[in-house]
């Protein structure tokens, strides 16, 4: 009788794992064939051979691009090179990218940029906020953009116990932003289990120097986030969050 119970439980567990693996492949389109598409108005942007994770475009047409993300389970084309922030002027007929120099005092060797977002203050100074994963941790780096020098001046590293597994951010004002967390666990094997079992335990945070809190939860790998032009709605692929008055 005892052996029968054990075999029954083992069969149920294996069936559950099998069903979750099939569902995971369906969610990620793992079996989908990718058909080539001819896009005559597109051209290769050289200099981004290590991939581009995120882009944020200023009203004047300048675009910031994060590149070189190293993330567990993802292929990396330059594992020994630090990540970079590139600038591209979309007003040019044939836009090119330029790597932005980062000021001294910042640990450039462990720079691992993910999501990015910009904020322009009243005197038109541009600030760039970058999700960074140094040594596979999560921080948010604040930079000031020096347009004439084509450089970034590092101002501050933002850390908090809730800022773990941060994927993307959207900035509201000085040191104020919403952030998505794409995993509940930080251990690689537990992350795999979380994804396979489709545990909807990830969330969206609001951060400010005075308050850090979860504002939306129950997502399966909360990912990119953006803001509407009127600043009233913050949207991801899975939700729309109304801004508090």
Residues annotated in the binding site for Ca(2+), as ranges? Answer: 53-54, 116, 167-168, 223
**Inter-residue contact 169 to 129 (CB < 8 Å):** yes
Catalytic entry in 114, 124, 133, 160: 114
Residue 188 half-sphere exposure, CB side, CA atoms within 13 Å? 5
Q: Residue 192 pairs with which residues in a beta bridge? A: none
> Hey, how many other C-beta atoms are within 10 angstroms of the C-beta on 212?
15
DSSP string over 93-151: SS--EEEPEE-TTS-GGG--EEEEEEEE-TT--EEEEEEE-GGG--EEEEEEEETTTTE
* Residue set of the binding site: 53-54, 116, 167-168, 223
Would you call 114 a catalytic residue per the annotation? yes
Q: Say which residue the tokens 């075999």 belong to.
A: 7
**Quick one: tokens of 146?**
């020096």
- Report the alpha-carbon distance of residue 220 to residue 46 in Å, rounded: 34
Q: If DSSP states are collapsed to H, E and C, what string results for 58-77?
A: CCCCEEEEEECCCCCCCCCC
* Sign of CA pseudo-dihedral 11, 13, 15, 18: negative
Q: If you search the block for the tokens 């942007």, which residue do you land on? A: 45
**Residues acting as catalytic residues:** 114
């Amino acid at each position: 009788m005892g052996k029968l119970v054990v075999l029954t439980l083992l069969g149920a567990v294996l069936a559950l794992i099998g069903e979750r693996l099939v569902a995971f492949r369906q969610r990620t389109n793992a079996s989908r064939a990718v058909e080539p598409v001819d896009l005559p108005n597109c051209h290769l942007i050289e200099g981004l051979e290590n991939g581009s994770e995120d882009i944020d475009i200023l009203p004047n047409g300048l675009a910031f691009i994060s590149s070189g993300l190293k993330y567990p389970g993802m292929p990396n084309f330059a594992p020994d090179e630090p990540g970079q922030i590139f600038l591209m002027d979309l007003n040019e007929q044939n836009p090119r990218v330029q790597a932005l120099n980062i000021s001294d005092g910042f640990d450039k060797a462990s720079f691992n940029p993910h999501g990015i977002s910009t904020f322009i203050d009243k005197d038109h100074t541009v600030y760039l906020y970058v999700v960074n994963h140094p040594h596979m941790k999560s921080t948010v780096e604040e930079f000031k953009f020096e347009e004439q020098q084509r450089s970034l001046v590092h101002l501050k590293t933002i850390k908090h116990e809730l800022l773990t597994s941060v994927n993307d951010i959207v900035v509201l004002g000085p040191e104020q932003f919403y952030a998505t967390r794409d995993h509940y666990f930080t251990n690689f094997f537990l992350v795999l289990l979380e994804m396979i079992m489709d545990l909807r335990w990830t969330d969206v945070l609001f951060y400010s120097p005075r308050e850090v809190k979860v504002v939306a939860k129950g997502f399966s790998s909360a990912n990119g986030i953006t803001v509407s032009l009127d600043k009233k709605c913050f949207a991801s692929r899975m939700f729309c969050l109304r801004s508090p008055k």
